[in-house]
A and B are shown apart, each in its own frame.
Chain A
Amino acid sequence: MPNAQSTKHNEPAKKRNYRPLVSTKALQKTMGRYYAITNYHRYWGKPLRRPLAWVTSGAPVELLRAFKIHSAYPEQYAAIYSARQATVSLCEVAETAGYSQDLCSYARSNIGGVLRPDLAPLGGMPKPDLLVACNNICGTVLKWYEVLARHFNVPLLVLDTPFLTGELTPQAKEYVLEQLNAMAVDLEKITGRKLNQQSLAEQMRRSAEITSLWKETRQYCQASPSPLNAPDLFIHMAPIVVLRGSQEGINYYRKLEAEVKERVKLGQGAVNNERIRLVWDNIAIWPQLFSFYKLFAEKGACFVTDTYSGGWAADHAPGTPMESLAATYTEVFLNRSPEYRANQLINLIRDYKANGFVMHSNRSCKPYSLVQEVIRRKVMRETGVPGLMIEADMADPRAYAEEPVRNRVQAFLETFDDLT
């Protein structure tokens, strides 16, 4: 999800194996505007009484938007740091300060950027007025945000979403709903504004609209050849993360959807001569975004869909805005059982007519990665398609060993070639 501009210098100058999207220009404009607004928050935030919150990617931002809070995402900035090759120096700052190398690289590079903003792309993140963490994506965010709360001496609001071993129970939903109501009271105190139910409902409506645009755009990739490849999905997911519930976001995804629809109509594939269709599981390998996926594209293998950027395409749960928030944010896939996640992959493989899948065992992201081997075996058994496991890290290039990765990818792709 880094700004497309940021990855430009990584692109190979020679013949491309895949087709660039015209919408990338609009993406750069939309995201450029968001970063400018965010980075200059100190000039407009106070006069307009609009605090800046640092939030986790799974935080209920619709509620924050209803309070006119501007949100910035440490995880998203960390992905940009990585695509701009700054992660190692930022992680080293955090490691020198005593943070373990086993800690999530988003957390380490974010903390590194807080301690040494001069080393961080975009000058690091603007200072927050409050922090909002939801543990639906992982447990690390709790301690990470506590560190930030101590450092900046600002309020930290936590939303605790119980892990779902099966379906969401009424008790769990009630538990999250109560916390959301309490959060609204806290936000009223922090912002000095009353919760406007109508404004919240409007945020939810826009959020649902942007989600369905992203979902429909993704579904076009069921076509053969697929109009998009994984790097496209990873780059063009930026607005759904940071501009969920905004009109700019909706405008952008209307453009993208139109282009993708047109590609399908013309039979244009993202990858030249698509012959192998794959599903991706886990966060992107940001520091190798182009070189890694090129190993596949040059052999005619296209990642037609993925579980990661698909996390932002989940339908909103029914009910009042608060009930919908409670259920939607508790039911995110990372907060669910290995069975649920295996079925999710199985369905993607069937719906997108995939020939195989690739899992990124992501050193940083424990909840995403720890259960992958169990899921891999179940999916292979039930679908009959092969699944490859790659060991790497979403942001820290020190965990990426190029030769072993190339070796595995080649061996995996050879299994589709009938060599043996």
Chain B
Amino acid sequence: MQTYFVGVDIGSLTVKVVLINNHLEIIGQMKTRAGYSGRDVANRLKEQLLIESGLKEQDVCATVATGYGRVTFPADREVSEITCQAKGIHHLFPTARTVIDIGGQDSKVIKLLSNGKVADFAMNDKCAAGTGRFLEVMASALEVEWQEIGEIVSSSKNPTQISSFCTVFAESEVISQVSAGTPKSDILAGVCDSVASRVASMTRKTGIEPDIVFTGGVAHNQGVVNALAKQLGYPLLVSREPVITAALGAALLAHEMNKV
């Protein structure tokens, strides 16, 4: 008999929901902006996903919630993003030993053992530098869509130096570069380097061990991917859907929970 499991990741910027079956195949996935109530958005997404997959609530054996809104969501269990991310990445990339996750408001590095267990982790603290929010603020100051950043950066010849660690101060640096007539591509390349250098130093803290997987919304941004790979001196593996890996991990945990 086919059974189903749901993973819900309520992040600071986006909500992701993943539906899997007992063969651990992804049946469906959805993501959207979290907005004011991440919980309501997640509930809606889950319903929609079940309808599209021709399933009913009672077909779902278990749901695991993760992300900042995990506590408010009515799930069978709430699990931290670190554990879920580790689970999802180990499933997709069994050779991964280092996971770099840059989300909306935090960036983290997780060190994995060969069996997928979390050996150590590091996270940013009380500061938005080196996160998706940082990139968003800079993209908005430069009036570009964040999805375009990768392409624009590829034409940069001489990246500027964004020296500040603080999002607010970095924004004023960007604005002064704009008034100095620096090309957009060079400023954006500087912004990507700044995120990469912040995250690279956090990665060095837990120790760099390949294979390195880069995940989270910012992994969509080729500018940061390239800058980070260059700084770490290793190629980075990126899944096709880096935004949903923690939600996938949550769904896998829901499946495991049910086995016990």
Given contacts A373-B205, A420-B117, contact A414 B126 (CB under 8 A): no
A414 adjacent to B82 (CB under 8 Å): yes
Q: Any chain B CB within 8 A of the CB of A419?
A: yes
Q: Any chain A CB within 8 A of the CB of B83?
A: yes
B211-252 vs A, CB cutoff 8 Å, 1 = contact: the mask equals: 000000000000000000000000000000000000000000
A401 adjacent to B125 (CB under 8 Å): yes
Nearest Cβ distance between residue A130 and chain B, in whole angstroms?
40
Chain A residues in 8 Å Cβ range of B122: 389
Chain B residues in 8 Å Cβ range of A415: 83, 117-118
Q: Any chain B CB within 8 A of the CB of A33?
A: no
Q: Any chain B CB within 8 A of the CB of A411?
A: yes
Chain A residues in 8 Å Cβ range of B205: 373
Residues of chain B in range 96-120 having any CB-CB distance to chain A below 8 Å:
106, 115-120
Interface-side segment among A143-151, A311-319, A334-342, A402-410: A402-410
Q: Any chain A CB within 8 A of the CB of B68?
A: yes
B119 adjacent to A386 (CB under 8 Å): yes
A408 adjacent to B123 (CB under 8 Å): yes
Q: Any chain A CB within 8 A of the CB of B184?
A: no
State which of B79, B90, B106 has its C-beta within 8 Å of the C-beta of A414: B79
Q: Any chain B CB within 8 A of the CB of A380?
A: yes
Q: Which of B83, B90, B115 has the most CB of A within 10 A?
A: B83
Secondary structure call for the A interface: helix
A411 adjacent to B106 (CB under 8 Å): no
Q: Any chain B CB within 8 A of the CB of A391?
A: yes
A407 adjacent to B81 (CB under 8 Å): yes
Q: Which of A380, A404, A411 has the most CB of B within 10 A?
A: A411
Complex CA–CA separation, A380 to B118 (angstroms): 13
Residues of chain B in range 72-102 having any CB-CB distance to chain A below 8 Å:
79-83, 86-87, 90
Chain B residues in 8 Å Cβ range of A391: 125-126
B80 adjacent to A407 (CB under 8 Å): yes
A374-416 vs B, CB cutoff 8 Å, 1 = contact: the mask equals: 0000001000001001010000000101011001101100110
Q: Any chain A CB within 8 A of the CB of B253?
A: yes
Instruction: Name A399's closest neighbour in chain B (CB-CB).
Output: B126
Q: Any chain A CB within 8 A of the CB of B146?
A: no
Complex CA–CA separation, A407 to B126 (angstroms): 13
Given contacts A403-B68, A407-B80, A414-B80, contact A420 B116 (CB under 8 A): yes
Complex CA–CA separation, A420 to B82 (angstroms): 10
Complex CA–CA separation, A373 to B122 (angstroms): 11
Residues of chain A in range 120-176 having any CB-CB distance to chain B below 8 Å:
none
B106 adjacent to A419 (CB under 8 Å): no
Chain A residues in 8 Å Cβ range of B80: 407, 410-411, 414
State which of A386, A399, A404 has its C-beta within 8 Å of the C-beta of B106: A404
Secondary structure call for the B interface: mixed
Instruction: Name B89's closest neighbour in chain A (CB-CB).
Output: A420
State which of A380, A403, A419 has its C-beta within 8 Å of the C-beta of B253: A419
Complex CA–CA separation, A415 to B85 (angstroms): 13
B126 adjacent to A411 (CB under 8 Å): no
Residues of chain B in range 108-148 having any CB-CB distance to chain A below 8 Å:
115-123, 125-126
Residues of chain A in range 184-228 having any CB-CB distance to chain B below 8 Å:
none
State which of A373, A389, A399, A411 has its C-beta within 8 Å of the C-beta of B83: A411
A420 adjacent to B86 (CB under 8 Å): yes
Nearest Cβ distance between residue A296 and chain B, in whole angstroms?
14
Given contacts A411-B118, A415-B117, contact A420 B123 (CB under 8 A): no
Instruction: Name B68's closest neighbour in chain A (CB-CB).
Output: A403
Nearest Cβ distance between residue A265 and chain B, in whole angstroms?
37
Complex CA–CA separation, A418 to B86 (angstroms): 12
Q: Which of A389, A399, A414, A419 has the most CB of B within 10 A?
A: A419
A420 adjacent to B83 (CB under 8 Å): yes
Nearest Cβ distance between residue B222 and chain A, in whole angstroms?
29
A420 adjacent to B125 (CB under 8 Å): no
Complex CA–CA separation, A274 to B17 (angstroms): 35
A404 adjacent to B82 (CB under 8 Å): no
A420 adjacent to B126 (CB under 8 Å): no
A414 adjacent to B83 (CB under 8 Å): yes
Nearest Cβ distance between residue B260 and chain A, in whole angstroms?
10
Given contacts A386-B119, A391-B126, A401-B126, contact A420 B81 (CB under 8 A): no
Chain B residues in 8 Å Cβ range of A408: 121, 123
Complex CA–CA separation, A415 to B119 (angstroms): 8
Nearest Cβ distance between residue B37 and chain A, in whole angstroms?
17
Complex CA–CA separation, A217 to B258 (angstroms): 44
Instruction: Name A390's closest neighbour in chain B (CB-CB).
Output: B125
Chain A residues in 8 Å Cβ range of B87: 419-420
Complex CA–CA separation, A415 to B205 (angstroms): 19
Q: Which of B79, B115, B125 has the most CB of A within 10 A?
A: B125
Chain A residues in 8 Å Cβ range of B86: 420
State which of A386, A407, A420 has its C-beta within 8 Å of the C-beta of B120: A386
Complex CA–CA separation, A115 to B105 (angstroms): 39
Given contacts A391-B125, A404-B123, A414-B82, contact A420 B118 (CB under 8 A): yes
A interface residues (Cβ-Cβ under 8 A, vs B): 373, 380, 386, 389, 391, 399, 401, 403-404, 407-408, 410-411, 414-415, 418-420
B interface residues (Cβ-Cβ under 8 A, vs A): 68, 79-83, 86-87, 90, 106, 115-123, 125-126, 205, 253, 256
A-B contacts, 9 of them at CB < 8 A, read A373-B205, A391-B125, A407-B68, A407-B82, A411-B82, A414-B80, A419-B83, A419-B253, A420-B115
Q: What 9 A-B pairs have minimum CB-CB distances, sorted nearest first?
A: A411-B82, A411-B80, A410-B80, A414-B83, A391-B125, A420-B116, A420-B117, A415-B118, A420-B86
